Amino acid sequence: MRKDNRRPDQLRPLRIERGIQPQADGSVLIALGGTEVVCAVSVEERVPPFLEGRGSGWITAEYGMLPGATRGRYRREAHGQSARSLEIQRLIGRSLRMMVDLTALGTRTLRVDCDVLNADGGTRTASISGAALAIGDTLGRLVADGRLPVLPAVLPVAAVSAGIVAGQPLLDLDYAEDHVAEVDANFVIAADGRWIEVQASAEGRPYHQRELLAMAGLAELGVRELFAFWRQTG
């Protein structure tokens, strides 16, 4: 058993609060165990220069941690983002752009800010899952406000972490598990079962194909649970 008595295939307790920032076009607070992230969407009636004249919209993301989110103060990135933050926000943006046909957005940008309030492992996967919910809510608001004529087809997206700790494949690592993991992986998966992105890194030793498949199986269980929770909470 894990220190919080979870099974190897069990997510941490999950909580969602929609509309956490009422002045944003869409916002969600997502909590997985001790990890909490606010994901807020701002709609801009313009697109980046490389899309001008192409009749397409854009979805992009920014990611950051508040200084008090970690054990020991996390450096405020006021003078430039760390390589880690840049890599994570690019992952978030790539994942979110798989949700919708960008031409259906019109010539506007959906800019998603993911701010980590408390970090206890899995901040990038929580950010993707929360941001995907916030994007869905934003599209509904655009239709309700008359800024979009119809709701575009949306492919729901969610993400989970998995890893190998002491030889055991585990789902949804917390910080203590992630800190000692031999293998660390993140999976972004769509509601129709297709995979969007897989990141799997050897941290303590090389890993076998069977271990990657074991982590992938746990990830598929985890995202199914997330999608079921989304449906229950509306």
Average pLDDT over the chain, rounded to whole? Answer: 95
What total of structural domains would you count in the chain? 1
pLDDT in tens, 98-148: 999 999 999 999 999 999 999 999 999 999 999 999 999 999 999 999 999
Locate 225 and state its tokens.
């649970």
Whether 222 is in a domain gets the answer yes
Domain contains 109:
yes
Kindly report the pTM of this predicted structure: 0.95
Q: Closest Cα to residue 183, out of 159, 152, 157, 207?
A: 207
Any domain includes 1: no
- Is 38 a domain residue? yes
CATH code for the domain of 159: 3.30.230.70
Beta sheet of 14-18, edge-to-edge order: 14-18, 26-32, 35-44, 109-118, 58-65
Give the distance, in angstroms, between the CA of residue 26 and the centroid of all CA atoms in the same chain.
15
Instruction: Please check whether residue 8 lies inside any domain of the structure.
Output: no
Return the bridge partners of 190, or none. 157
Q: Over range 25-41, report the average pLDDT.
A: 98
**Contact of 164 with 215, CB cutoff 8 Å:** yes
**Domain assignment present for 221:** yes
Is residue 43 over pLDDT 90? Answer: yes
For 58, the domain range is: 14-233
Tell whether 7 is covered by a domain: no
pLDDT surpasses 90 at 89? yes
For residue 164, tell me if it sits in a domain: yes
Calculate what percentage of the chain has a pLDDT beyond 70. 99
Q: Find the helix packing angle between 123-144 and 83-96, rounded to 10°.
A: 40
